[in-house]
Amino acid sequence: MIQTSFSSTTFDNNSGGGKMTINSKITLSFILFLNLFFLVIGINAISYLSMFLANKIFPLVCFLDKDNAFLLITIHHFVQALIGLLIIGLILLITDHSIADFGFQLKGFKSSLRPMGLFGIAFCTVQLIGAFLYVYGFNYPLQFSYVLTPYNFIGQFLFQILVSGTSEEILFRSLVLFIIAATTKRYAENTKTIYISTIVISSIAVTYHKE
């Protein structure tokens, strides 16, 4: 999975940390609303386009996945990542931003290993406990949308650990967070305002995202 962390360049505040005027607050609110509106539309448009193209490609290679267990969604996420990278490339071409502004850098990588490792352990623990309770505590039957064979399991597993997160990092993190930060930094009172706005808007946008 591609790990991204945003450089201070992206979130550099041009306002000097001064108090926001009424006009700045109104402008910032309007920009945040536009970001939310267009990101929800844009994310879904990219997702639908990716799935449309994946459905066109899948019949050509469906013999590799006769049960449709992993290949279609894998193609979908590859196309989705490619579209995201093309948009990032276009922005880099017409602006003076660098690839680091989209989070593609190693800054803070070593210091992030410990918290990410702890989070991974905690997440897996919660998932295992939840799955155990789901199956054995509430007697819910195990259901899969495809025939559970070793081949299908390996394909689905590799998709989950290699493709899914990588694709969504590019679209939902690198691209979305850059756009929000770049369009709000001029009017924000401080970087905290940008971070809070970014978290709220990206969360709502991703919530409305449909596969």
- Rounded distance between C-alpha atoms, residue 34 and residue 62, angstroms: 40
Per the structure block, which two tokens stand in for 150? 């070793």
Given this model, what pLDDT does residue 76 score? 95
Given this model, what pLDDT does residue 61 score? 94
Given this model, what pLDDT does residue 17 score? 46
Of the candidates 160, 142, 132, 171, the one whose C-alpha atom is nearest the C-alpha of residue 69 is 160
Given this model, what pLDDT does residue 182 score? 75
C-beta pairs of 185-189 under 8 Å, 24+ apart in sequence: 185/10, 185/11, 185/12, 185/13, 185/14, 186/14, 186/15, 187/15, 187/20, 187/24, 187/25, 187/27, 187/28, 187/31, 188/13, 188/15, 188/20, 188/28, 189/15, 189/17, 189/18, 189/19, 189/20
Q: How far is CA 28 from CA 8, 32, 170, in A?
A: 20, 6, 25
Given this model, what pLDDT does residue 168 score? 86
Given this model, what pLDDT does residue 208 score? 54
Given this model, what pLDDT does residue 5 score? 45
- Rounded distance between C-alpha atoms, residue 203 and residue 208, angstroms: 9
Residues of the chain with pLDDT below 70 are 1-33, 35, 184-211
Given this model, what pLDDT does residue 101 score? 84
Predicted structure pTM score: 0.72
Residue with tokens 């799935």: 51
